[in-house]
């Protein structure tokens, strides 16, 4: 979708962290915004900020762990803003603890918020996008979804699911005017879940140097405008490491140890950020 001005976007996870930066970047492009998350006041504050870009913006609170609220979200957005041209599945939760410690309820909640809700929202908006002959869906995954991450096993699994959901749907929609992209950031400093984790557990190892929220927001815009399949956002080039891992899967564990990822994961384990 080359021209974003006056398109309507639904952005999940808009109350804090990376969502705020993505909302600002979309507003600068002239995109009208439906901002959703659970925190009503934060959404309203962002709504007031972004309308200074001469766009329409609405705040529509919803809890994505509640299937009923996910199911009614599209209708609410279309009532208040109009048809959805862009869906950004950004909301996500992560916890870090040994897998045996996750309760069944925690596992189900993480799968629902990180994976089921994006799939359902996509299912609801896609027919309208195809009918209108335009649309783009962006799924926010993570480098954890490409490489795996110990103690964040359910998180990494849901993020890997988003990568494969994007790849498969993209193939299916190849001959249509609807694009699908996945963004995979590494640790992001300044704002968001890693920045919160860093306050408690200290900085990530040097080789896992964090990127910035603005780079993630720019990647979202680029993905939509250039219909990119997948963008990895990290301070250091990581794609070669992923290619090596694909050829030699047995190397993943060693590579994670060498990079310091395993030791850092142990350090943040039992600390939660939701």
Ligand X SMILES: NC(=O)c1ccc[n+]([C@@H]2O[C@H](COP(=O)([O-])OP(=O)(O)OC[C@H]3O[C@@H](n4cnc5c(N)ncnc54)[C@H](OP(=O)(O)O)[C@@H]3O)[C@@H](O)[C@H]2O)c1
**Could you give the CA distance from residue 93 to residue 2 in angstroms, rounded to a whole number?**
31
Residue 232's contacts (CB-CB under 8 Å, 6 or more residues apart) are: 143, 146, 184, 185, 186, 238, 239, 242
Q: Rank residues 102 and 177 by Cβ distance to ligand X and give the closer one.
A: 102
**Could you give the CA distance from residue 219 to residue 198 in angstroms, rounded to a whole number?**
23
Reduced to 3 states, what is the DSSP secondary structure of residue 227? coil
Residue 72's contacts (CB-CB under 8 Å, 6 or more residues apart) are: none
Beta strands in 45-204 (DSSP E): 57-59, 86-89, 94-96, 135-140, 178-185
- Residues numbered 242-261 forming contacts with ligand X, rule: CB under 6 A: none
Q: Applying CB under 6 A, which part among 11-19, 73-81, 170-178, 249-257 lies near ligand X? A: 11-19
Question: Looking at 25, 64, 138, 160, which residue binds ligand X (CB under 6 A)?
Answer: 64
Q: How far is the CB of 13 from ligand X (least distance, A)?
A: 3
Q: How far is the CB of 203 from ligand X (least distance, A)?
A: 12
Instruction: Answer yes or no whether residue 115 interacts with ligand X by CB under 6 A.
Output: no
Q: Applying CB under 6 A, which part among 49-57, 121-129, 192-200, 221-229 lies near ligand X? A: 192-200
Catalytic residue among 151, 155, 194, 264: 155
Question: Looking at 95, 115, 149, 187, which residue binds ligand X (CB under 6 A)?
Answer: 187
**Could you give the CA distance from residue 244 to residue 260 in angstroms, rounded to a whole number?**
18
Radius of gyration for the alpha carbons in the chain, expressed in angstroms and rounded: 18
- Residues numbered 142-171 forming contacts with ligand X, rule: CB under 6 A: 142
Active site residues: 155
Q: Interface with ligand X by CB under 6 A: which residues?
A: 13-19, 37-39, 63-65, 90-94, 113, 140, 142, 185, 187-188, 192-194, 273
């Amino acid at each position: 979708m080359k021209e974003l001005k006056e398109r309507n976007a639904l952005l999940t996870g808009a109350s804090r962290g990376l969502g705020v930066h993505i909302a600002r970047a979309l507003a600068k492009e002239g995109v009208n915004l439906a901002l959703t998350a659970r925190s009503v006041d934060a959404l309203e504050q962002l709504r007031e900020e972004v309308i200074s870009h001469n766009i329409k913006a609405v705040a529509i609170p919803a809890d994505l762990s509640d299937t009923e609220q996910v199911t009614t979200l599209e209708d609410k957005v279309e009532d208040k803003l109009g048809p959805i041209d862009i869906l950004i599945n950004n909301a996500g939760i992560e916890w870090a603890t040994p897998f045996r410690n996750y309760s069944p309820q925690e596992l189900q909640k993480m799968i629902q918020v990180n994976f089921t809700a994006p799939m359902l929202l996509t299912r609801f908006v896609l027919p309208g996008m195809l009918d209108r002959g335009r649309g783009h869906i962006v799924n926010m995954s993570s480098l954890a979804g490409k490489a795996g991450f110990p103690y964040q096993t359910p998180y990494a699994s849901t993020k890997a699911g988003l990568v494969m959901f994007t790849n498969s749907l993209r193939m299916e929609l190849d001959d249509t005017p609807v694009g699908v992209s996945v963004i995979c950031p590494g640790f992001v400093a300044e704002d968001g879940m890693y920045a919160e984790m860093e306050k408690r557990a200290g900085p990530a190892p040097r080789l896992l140097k964090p990127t910035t929220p603005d780079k993630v927001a720019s990647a979202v815009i680029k993905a939509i405008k250039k219909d990119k399949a997948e963008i990895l956002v990290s301070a250091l080039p990581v794609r070669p490491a992923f290619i090596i891992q694909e050829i030699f899967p047995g190397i993943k564990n060693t590579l994670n140890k060498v990079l310091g990822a395993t030791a850092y994961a142990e350090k943040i384990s039992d600390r939660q950020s939701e």
